[in-house]
Amino acid sequence: MQPKSAHTPAQTKAAPKISFPARAIAPLIIKVALVNGLVVVGSILLGRFLDTAFHTRVTFFVILAVVSLQLALYITYKLGMSTATRLEQADATDKTDVGATNVTNVTNVTAKESDSARP
C-alpha cells in the first residue's frame, strides 16, 4: 500500500512552460557577453590605473574586480528578464493574431466550399 500524497493533482499547479526561440537567445548571449566583458575589463583596467596613480599595491584592483563581478551578475539578470518579458509579450500577441487569422481562414474556406458545392 502506497502512502497518500499531501497534494492531489487538482491542487498541484503546473509551472508555466516558457520556450525561448534561438532567434531570441543568440542576441541575448551576445549582449550579455559584450556588456559584461566591457564592465569587467574596464573595471580591472581602471583599478590598475588607480593603483598606479595612488601608489597602492592592489587595493583598487581588488575592490573594482569584486564590484564588477556583482555588477555583471545584475546586468545579466536584468538583460535576461527584459528579454523574457519581451518574448512573453510577443508570444501573447502572436497567439491572439494567429487565432484571429485561423478563424478568418476557416470562415473563408467554408464559404468557398459551400459556394463550390452548389450546382
Q: What is the DSSP string of 40-70?
A: HHHHHHHHHHHHHHHT-SSHHHHHHHHHHHH
Residue 20 has pLDDT above 50, yes or no: yes
Tens-digit pLDDT profile for residues 25-72: 889 999 999 999 999 999 999 999 999 999 999 999 999 999 999 999
Count other Cβ atoms within 10 Å, centred on residue 100. 10
Could you tell me the residue ranges of all domains in the chain?
22-102
* Mean pLDDT for the stretch of residues 94-103: 58
3-state secondary structure of 2: coil
